[in-house]
Structure 1
Amino acid sequence: MKKHVLALDLKDDEKLIAEYEAYHESIWTEIKQSIQSAGILNMEIYRVANRLFMIMEVEDNFSFEAKAKADEVNPKVQEWETLMWKYQQAIPSAREGEKWLLMKQIFKL
């Protein structure tokens, strides 16, 4: 099992943040299925102010590229991603079109 940690910002608006959290209290069944079928064993999202941190525990053969390809042809995932972009904004270091950015581990005890 491997672990990946990613970061993303939300738009700094209390109403939008509350809506975003409400969507994540009960994600769509198709989204949960797409996450699990990609080899993601556990996923947690944490928030401080408008910054999000996602922790993913994945199977050893998990591939971000394979997940992206599967998402491109899944209409429900595309609908979800379009909806979520209403609430999300790229962090300052992101390139055009990037959302969640992989974080570098700098310490482990």
Structure 2
Amino acid sequence: MNRYCLALDLVDDPKLIEEYKQYHQSVWPEIKESISSSGIENTEIYLTGNRLFMIMKVNESFSFEAKDTADLANPKVQEWETLMWKFHSSLPGAKPGEKWILMDQIFKL
């Protein structure tokens, strides 16, 4: 099983951050299904200030390319992603339209 860590910023507005947290207390079932069916077996998102950190544990069937393709073809995922852009703020150095940035592991004990 592989693990990936990704980062993303939220708009630095306490009301929007609270609203974002509320959405993630009741993620739409279609979104959960799109995550599970892509080979992601576990996902966790952490927040500090306005910075998000996501850990994904994936099985051998997972690929970022396949997930992106499936998401683009799923109207409910596109609706969710459009809604989430209200809260997201790209990290410095992100490409236009790029949200979650894959992080490099620099230490392991």
Bin the TM-score by the shorter chain.
Answer: over 0.9
- C-alpha distance in 2, partners of 1:23/1:61? 28
C-alpha distance in 1 between matches for 2:68 and 2:106: 26
User: Whole-Å Cα distance in 2 between the matches of residues 94 and 47 of structure 1?
Assistant: 19
Give me the identity figure in percent. 65
Return the TM-score normalized by structure 2.
Answer: 0.99
Runs of 4+ more than 4 Å apart = none
**Given the two structures, how large is their TM-score scaled by the length of structure 1?**
0.99
C-alpha distance in structure 2 between counterparts of 1:25 and 1:54, whole Å: 15
> CA contact under 8 A between 2:43 and 2:55: conserved in structure 1?
yes
CA distance in 2, matches of 1:2, 1:83: 29
Unpaired segments of 5 or more residues in structure 1? none
Give the corresponding residue for 2:61: 61
Equivalences, count:
109
Could you list the runs of 5+ residues in structure 2 that have no partner in the other structure?
A: none
Shift of 1:97: 1.2
Root-mean-square deviation (CA), in Å? Answer: 0.5
Q: Distance in 1 between the 2:97 and 2:16 partners?
A: 21
Rounded Cα–Cα distance in structure 2 between residues aligned with 1:107 and 1:60 = 24
Counterpart check, 1:15 vs 2:15: yes
1:95 counterpart residue number: 95
